[in-house]
C-alpha cells in the first residue's frame, strides 16, 4: 500500500490526501480543489501558503529564501509532503 498524507487547508478546514511523490498542488488538483496556481515552477507565488504543522521536502535546489523559511512559506507546486500537513491559505475555500 502506498504512503499518503492528509493535508488540511485553513481557515477553510478543507482536507485531502496526497500520495507519496505528489506535490501539494498536484494532489489538490487531482481531487478537484480550487487551489490557486499559475506557473508551477515556484516563480509566480500564487500557490504559496504558510506551513502551520508538518514537514515538506523540495527537489534540489530548494526554492526557499531565508525570508520564506522565517515566515514558514511553502510552495504548493514544488513541495512534497513528508508528514500530514496543516497549511494556511486565505484564498482557498471549501
Q: Rounded CA gap, 63 and 13, in Å?
A: 27
pLDDT at 2: 76
CATH topology of domain 4-88: Ubiquitin-like (UB roll) (3.10.20)
User: How many residues in the chain?
Assistant: 94
pLDDT at 1: 59
- Domain positions in the chain are 4-88
Query: What are the mean pLDDT values of the chain's consecutive 10-residue runs (94 residues total)?
Result: 91 96 97 94 93 96 93 97 97 86
Return the bridge partners of 74, or none: 49
Asked if 79 and 58 touch (Cβ cutoff 8 Å), the reply is: yes
Left, alpha or beta for 21 (phi > 0: left; psi -120 to 50: alpha)? left
Amino acid at each position: 500500500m502506498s504512503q499518503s498524507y492528509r493535508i488540511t487547508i485553513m481557515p477553510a478546514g478543507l482536507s485531502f490526501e496526497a500520495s507519496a511523490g505528489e506535490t501539494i498542488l498536484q494532489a489538490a488538483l487531482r481531487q478537484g480543489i480550487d487551489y490557486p496556481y499559475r506557473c508551477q515552477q515556484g516563480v509566480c507565488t500564487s500557490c504559496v501558503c504558510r506551513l502551520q504543522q508538518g514537514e515538506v521536502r523540495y527537489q534540489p535546489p530548494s526554492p526557499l529564501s531565508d525570508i520564506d523559511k522565517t515566515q514558514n512559506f511553502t510552495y504548493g507546486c514544488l513541495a512534497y509532503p513528508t508528514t500530514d500537513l496543516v497549511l494556511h491559505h486565505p484564498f482557498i475555500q471549501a
